[in-house]
Structure 1
Amino acid sequence: MNPIGNLNKIFESRIRLGVMSVLMVNDEVNFNDLKQMLEVTDGNLASHLNTLEENGYIKVYKGFIGRKTNTTYSITATGEKAFKGHLAALEHMIKFTK
């Protein structure tokens, strides 16, 4: 059996891995907080968030705080299942690959 066969290609990026990790333990996080936590640029983060959204792994909420736009993100049930599967595959690979 291929030890990397069950890894999810979407989570190969360290930024997407970071986003999913943050969202697994927070109900929702806004764009600026994610950017600070992951220490990435606006454009870089935005492109990775788009990939996660296109795959149905995160939900995007656009709103306003006063007159300023506020975009927050949360993990979807599909995203949680996919990420847990990816982590399980990593654990399996670490424990059983010789």
Structure 2
Amino acid sequence: MNPIGNLNKLFDSRIRLGVMSILMVNGEISFNDLKQMLELTDGNLASHLNTLEENGYIKVHKGFVGRKTNTTYSITKSGEKAFKGHLTALENMIKSTR
């Protein structure tokens, strides 16, 4: 049996793995908070968020705080399911190699 067969290729990126982990714990978080937590540039974070959004794993919420735009992100049901499946596959891979 292939130990990496059930891993989700989308989560190969440590940045996307970090984004999903943060969203699983926090529910909803702003772009700026994500950027600070992961220590990324705007462009780098934005490209990874776009990939997650295009795959239906996260939702984008755009609004205003006063006159400033405020963009927040949350995990979707399919994103939660995919991420949990990835974590289970990681656990199984670790157990099977002992």
- TM norm structure 1: 0.98
- TM norm structure 2: 0.98
Q: Which runs of 5+ in 2 are unaligned?
A: none
TM-superposed deviation, 1:45: 0.1
After superposing on structure 2, the runs of 4+ consecutive aligned residues of structure 1 that deviate more than 2 Å are: none
Deviations 1:48-93 (A, max 9, x none): 0000000000000000101100000000000000000000000000
Letter in 2 for 1:56: G
**1:19-38 superposed matches below 5 A:** 19-38=19-38
Q: Distance in 2 between matches of 1:86 and 1:41?
A: 26
Q: Distance in 2 between matches of 1:27 and 1:79?
A: 12
Two-structure CA RMSD over aligned residues (Å)? 0.7
TM-superposed deviation, 1:97: 2.0
Q: Distance in 2 between matches of 1:63 and 1:47?
A: 20
**1:5-84 superposed matches below 5 A:** 5-84=5-84
Q: Distance in 1 between matches of 2:40 and 2:93?
A: 29
SS across alignment from 1:29: strand
Letter in 2 for 1:48: H
The total of aligned residue pairs comes to 98
SS across alignment from 1:64: strand
